[in-house]
Amino acid sequence: MGKKRLLYISAETPKPTGGGSEMRVASHIGALSDLFDVTLAIIGDQESEVKANKFFADHVKSNCASIVVVDRISVINRFFRGTSSYWAHELFEALLLLSAAIPARPR
């Protein structure tokens, strides 16, 4: 009988070097792949699956049965991505806070 399947969900892209969180995810996947067929799901601001796949080390790819990238980015962050000006970011955030503070008019 084959290995059982395991879904590993992470907000970090696993890397063998770099920050502690990325290295920890890569280490977990390596250890778990001995016992399970690991499907890695990365959820976060990755922009695209193609771009995220460039960062996967070969040993991470070989340890995973499959890799899924789910791009979850808010509408505000999408707007900010298209705006390079710091002041545009600040103005937009201030307007959002101001609109939230104004009570709605009764109808």
pLDDT band at 79 (very low <50, low <70, confident <90, very high): low
Share of residues in the chain with pLDDT > 70 (%): 64
Q: Looking at residues 86-95, what average pLDDT do you find?
A: 72
> In this structure, are strands 36-44 and 64-71 parallel, antiparallel, or unpaired?
parallel
Nearest to 36 by CA among 67, 15, 14, 7: 7
Higher pLDDT, 97 or 7: 7
pTM: 0.62
Q: Which residues are registered as beta bridge partners of 38?
A: 6, 64
Task: Give mean pLDDT, residues 78-104.
Answer: 68
**Residue pLDDT, tens place only, 57-74:** 777 888 888 888 877 766
Q: How confident is the model at residue 11 (pLDDT cuts 50, 70, 90)?
A: confident
pLDDT at 81: 67
Give the SS3 label for residue 11. Answer: coil
Helices (H), 33-85: 49-53, 58-63, 75-82
| CB-based contact 12:41 (threshold 8 Å) | no
- Asked whether residue 25 carries a pLDDT value surpassing 70, the answer given is yes
Assess contact for 2 and 31: CB atoms under 8 A.
no
